[in-house]
Amino acid sequence: MSTAGFNSPKKLYIAGINYKKADTATRGKFSISAANQEDLIKNAVDRGIDGLLLVSTCNRTEIIGFAEHPFKLIELLSNYWQEGTVKEFASVAYVYKAAEAVTHLFRLVSGLDSQILGDYEIVGQLKRAFQLSQSLGAVNTYLDKLFSHLMHASKRVKNETDLSSGTTSVAYAAVQFLLAEFTTLTDKTVLLYGLGEIGKNTYKHLLEYALPEKIVVANRSQEKLKELIAGKPPHVEVCEIANLNKQVSNTDIMIVATGADHPTVTSNDIPAGKELLILDLSMPSNVAPEVKELSHVRVVDVDRLSKITNATLDHRRDEIPRAEAIIAEIEHDFFAWLDNRKFAPAINTLRQSLEEIRRNEINQHLRKRDQFTSEDLDHITAQLMQKVVRQFAKHMKPNSLDANQTLDLIYRIFETEKEAVA
């Protein structure tokens, strides 16, 4: 893997949008589908971009990579998002550079930058982004080391603080919203459409906290469906996608978590006059705009669900200083490693020069005999030492401005006391 850092012509940049300045509809315009994410990274590698990660979730779309200018990354991104324009992206976007970018990532993986404080869903998403980039040859030494430090920070914050105490996520917020709306779901039928990560978490929370009268699950991938419903409770049923419209007629609440790059629920799926509550957990929105215009249908999106707060979040806020202290410690370790990388080229040059001296000396003696005696080895090593010393002495001129600094460095390297000269 190649190395890229702050001293390179290419800098680490992050360009993106998130829930802070862009609402659900706007974020949906700039989301990148799974297939396009892979194609984007391949394109970046072909263009010679040294190190790249891409994260596109319901809360954010971020491109993380090395470039001469952040517009190079934004330009690459613009070839793959849904329907936004560069001008619109710039109006809500943020750009972080070098150390600022690193700090942003540390806050991200610790849950400090999540829409729901302490939500660690982004960690799994970032892991998958890293694995994809790694498989496509888009992870350099810098990103590899940074990612290692990020995961270490994430683990420590999760284990050593209560920042993620209790259960809070978009999926959990959806269930809490339903309980707040209806008090109980024991007389309700819930249709869950989509079994991505958010869909599966929603299913688990429905079983654990809500206990609806009936849960009906629909998903295009039968493999995911079979895996989820293995050993399912009696009140969980499976719906074929072809029968979705019919099932909606018998549903009180529909939860959409399909994660497609286009609407999967249209007005054709809603029977005329059917009163229905739809929770849209997808990004971009998988509920068509015309559905939201139906007077008998209420659609609640991710942004509204994320505003649900409770005592759990209040307790989490108290944990922020402890989380920030852990991040500062590990971030310091990363920058210390980065500082040491500045010396890597010089050390490699020194190693190569010494190796050349060693190899030449051995080859010279091999021309004289096939085997070395102990006397020969003693002579060879003495010659090696003499040549190394000569290399130092050749560049130590008494009248040079940095002579004293050079002498101080040599004494320090070899851990000897500086001798006074009469």
CA 398/CA 404 separation, integer angstroms: 9
Contact call for residues 198 and 255 (beta carbons, < 8 A): no
Number of Cβ within a 10 Å radius of residue 41:
25
User: Is residue 73 within a helix (H) or strand (E), and if so which, with residue range?
Assistant: helix 70-78
Contact call for residues 49 and 68 (beta carbons, < 8 A): no
Which three-class secondary structure state does DSSP give residue 391?
helix
CA 240/CA 155 separation, integer angstroms: 40
CA 155/CA 285 separation, integer angstroms: 32
Give the tokens for residue 87: 């001008």
Number of Cβ within a 10 Å radius of residue 241:
13
Q: In what order do the strands lie in the sheet with 189-193?
A: 236-238, 214-218, 189-193, 253-256, 276-280, 297-300
Q: Are strands 253-256 and 276-280 parallel, antiparallel or unpaired?
A: parallel
Which residue bears the tokens 């290399």? 391
Which residue bears the tokens 């072909």? 46
Catalytic residues: 58
CA 49/CA 206 separation, integer angstroms: 44
